[in-house]
Amino acid sequence: MFRWIPYAMVRIAAFFIAGILLGIYQPNLITLRLAEIILFIFVALYTLLHWSISNKRSNLVLGGIGLFAIFFAGYVHLLSFIGWNQPDHLSTYKGDIKYYQASLLGLPEDKTNSYKYTVKILKVFDGKSWIPTDTKALIYIRKTEGQSNFFYGDRILVRGKPQLLQPPQNPFEFDFKRFLSFKNIYYQQFLKSDQVQLISSIKTKDLMYYSFIAREWGTKQLKAQLPNKKEQAIALALTLGVTEGIDNELQSAYASSGAMHVLAVSGLHVGILYGIVMLLLRPLRNQSWGRWVIAVIGLVVLWSFAFITGLSPSVLRAVTMFSFIAIAKPFGRRTSIYNTLAASAFILLLFDPYLIMSVGFQLSYLAVLGIVTIHRPLYLAWEPKSAALDWIWNISCVSIAAQLATFSLGVLYFHQFPVYFLFSNLFVIPGAIAVLVTSILVLATSIIAPLAAFFGTILHWLIQILNFGVFTFEKFPFSLINDIYITTLQCWLLILAIGFSLLLFHEKKFSLMIITFALVTVFSGIQWQHHMDDVKKNRFVVYNISGHQGIEWISNGHSLFFGDSSLVMDAERMRFHIRPNRLFCGVSNFENNFSTKAPKVFEKYGKKIGIINSPISSWPGNLKLDYLIVGNNSFHSLVQARNTINFDKLILDSSNSSYLASRIQNEDDEVVHAVQHEGAFVEIF
């Protein structure tokens, strides 16, 4: 029945993941108690049949029962893991909160105007007593001069009440609330520095504490040898996984050249370290005890690297997988890489089932799966004549395999494709290896200042060469195809189409060609339908962007945008709030107009739209508006606006005060739309 999946651990992991996904997408399908009962029935039935039958046909039935038990185990595991469902979660508390005590779960993230912390709320104070709770939250503390940062494990006292995260306020905007729910975070609070007070530092110093200490030490050593901020950013990201220093310019260059993967410490970096260990200890392989020495040293190196990177989830994924390989070798067994991948994924999901929704988790496993599946057949398709060509061909095959496997997810999540990835990786991967190894040498020799300075100088030049190559590839014409929009269904269709194309290449069966053609046809049909139903329609949008005015008319791929200058010049806000809607609507060109104090009227497809950004006392009596957009507290009441201007719909943009917007909306919520309280205003014609 399940022989089409030939690897036992793959079957187990696949059904466990399927149960987790059902719990994520259909958490209310059945209750946790009923799921536990069904799981118990399947386990009992499996145990009973296991001891009473032995023929092959019955074994298939037994295997099916076992796999369905694993499926329900995944479902139960996910529902049990959801913090919102726990009896001591803050969501169950309905009283007021004056203060709360919290413990820091990580290191601060340096934002533009604040420091971001992940905390665990331990107890809340309602003015009379302290109520214990166990709830994760985000807090943002505004930066002030002379402010000292908190550290992992510090216990703090916070004044105020954490707020529930809000769903997206603009069309097709990234769902930050859902993203954080996969980390069991449902609350956040924005604070001034005087609202937070340190109660005590960590008392019981655990492994994570010392891991963060090690990462902070490593960060300090690398920064001491690299005075330039761009070089620091690359070294810290590539070696320790610290990405806070990566600015938009660096990120854009590495993305355009197809080298973004080297800045995320994961399987590539762990694989490099494991490969170096295997190469250095190769002479020991012929000794009877040598394999055990190699395994022990390999595990020590891998987990030491994970430790100094702060035990980040991406590194733990890769280290866990390579640990399975390292442990199996001394027993003289050739492990199936598919079983190894499945086993590492299964163990990680036991600790955190929400990892399945992590983009890094998905990309890491797909990339490795692509490499082990596609690389060798592709590599054997051509035999180069020289060692240099063979090296180039080998790296190219690895790049092609990883890109094919992750192409669909890359387009779905990042909406882009680096055209020169094949050529850039010939330069970037060796460069990344050199930077990583030299960075480790800087850390290893840090107690010998002259030697550390020597390796620091080499590291400085290596990063400069790496950055020069990346920026050069970025400047090539058409280096990046961006603004690609596909749906999740189309992503699955692409994955299946690529998979069946590879099978067709290997098996050369006509039926596989028909299936591939059908998948591509359905994909194209969905894209054509999206173009006809969504791209060709006219949309009028007033965005909800705190403190800013953003108005857009989208028509057949063209955008007419009105916004204040600070918003238009803020690339990060435009990318987060505006770009998702433009992607969906297929916007290929746009015209930006800065908001002015003078009233403005424009007409599109018979609709008259007025924009008011300052108080006015008169308006042409013969001019009627379909939509009046009011910003900067220009009117203090609906009656005042009605007495001045003739309109059908009043839209209060997010440059108005929240209190005023709420008061005007309460006058007539059928006529007034306040984006601060109702989300973006969207009209489709």
CB neighbours of residue 294 within 10 Å: 21
Q: What pLDDT is recorded for position 350?
A: 92
| CA separation for the pair 371, 364 (Å, rounded) | 11
- Alpha helices by DSSP H, 154-247: 176-181, 207-225, 229-240
pLDDT digits (tens, 9 = 90+) for 432-486: 889 888 998 999 898 998 999 999 999 999 999 988 988 888 888 888 888 899 9
64 to each of 4, 9, 43, 61, 208, how far by Cα in Å? 13, 14, 12, 5, 40
Strand 550-555 and strand 155-159: the pairing is unpaired
Q: How is the beta sheet containing 681-684 ordered, strand by strand?
A: 589-594, 558-563, 550-555, 538-542, 681-684
| Greatest extent of the chain over all pairs of C-alpha atoms, in Å | 97
Q: Which residue has the tokens 């930050």?
A: 176
Residues 6+ apart with CB under 8 A from 239: 218, 222, 265, 269, 309, 435, 436, 439, 440, 443
Q: Are 77 and 128 in contact (CB under 8 A)?
A: no
Q: Are 434 and 462 in contact (CB under 8 A)?
A: yes
Q: How is the beta sheet containing 624-630 ordered, strand by strand?
A: 600-604, 607-612, 624-630, 646-652, 672-674
Q: What pLDDT is recorded for position 310?
A: 83
Q: What is the DSSP letter of 546?
A: T
pTM, two decimals, is 0.86
Torsion of CA 393, 397, 398, 402, to 10 degrees: 150
Phi then psi for 234, rounded to 5 degrees? -65, -45
Q: What is the CA angle 176-182-183, rounded to 5?
A: 95
| CA separation for the pair 315, 432 (Å, rounded) | 16
| CA separation for the pair 633, 596 (Å, rounded) | 14
What average pLDDT values come out for the chain (685 residues) when binned by 10 residues?
A: 66 94 92 93 88 66 88 95 89 90 90 90 93 95 83 94 94 94 94 92 88 90 88 85 75 76 70 81 75 85 86 78 76 69 88 89 84 88 88 88 89 89 86 88 90 93 90 86 91 93 86 94 94 89 94 91 90 91 92 87 87 88 90 93 92 94 92 94 91
| CA separation for the pair 392, 184 (Å, rounded) | 44
pLDDT digits (tens, 9 = 90+) for 362-406: 888 888 888 888 888 888 888 888 888 998 898 889 889 888 888
Q: What pLDDT is recorded for position 354?
A: 93
Q: What pLDDT is recorded for position 2?
A: 46
